[in-house]
Amino acid sequence: MSHAPSGHTKDLVRMANQIAVHFATYPRDEAVTETATHIRKFWDPRMRAGLFAHVQSGGEADLHEVARGAVGLLQAPR
């Protein structure tokens, strides 16, 4: 009935990268913070968890460099 989970993860990666690309025109630090803030403000926790899990399981390379930085920031203890 349901799609393979990879379908959903692919969407999460696409969305994270789209956000990163928008902010990438700003200086790196700002870009990373803004991307992280955007994801924190607009993504349901399970979506964030899905993205983190993808990175943990070796999917880092799928992410835009800024999105990777943002994931790092989001996972850092606040």
Binding-site ranges for another protein (CB under 8 A): 1-3, 5, 7-8, 11, 14-15, 18-19, 21-22, 24-26, 38, 41-47, 50
User: What is the closest distance, in whole angstroms, from the C-beta atom of residue 60 to another protein in the complex?
Assistant: 20
Task: Give residue for tokens 């955007």.
Answer: 38
Q: How far is the CB of 72 from another protein (least distance, A)?
A: 20
In contact, 32 and 40? CB cutoff 8 Å: no
Of 41 and 57, the one with the shorter C-beta distance to another protein is 41
**Shortest Å, Cβ 41 to another protein:** 6
- Of 22 and 59, nearer to another protein (C-beta) is 22
Residue for token pair 């943990």: 56
> What's the alpha-carbon Rg for the chain, to the nearest Å?
12
State how far the Cα of 78 lies from the Cα of 61, in Å rounded to an integer: 25
Q: Which residue type occupies 70?
A: A
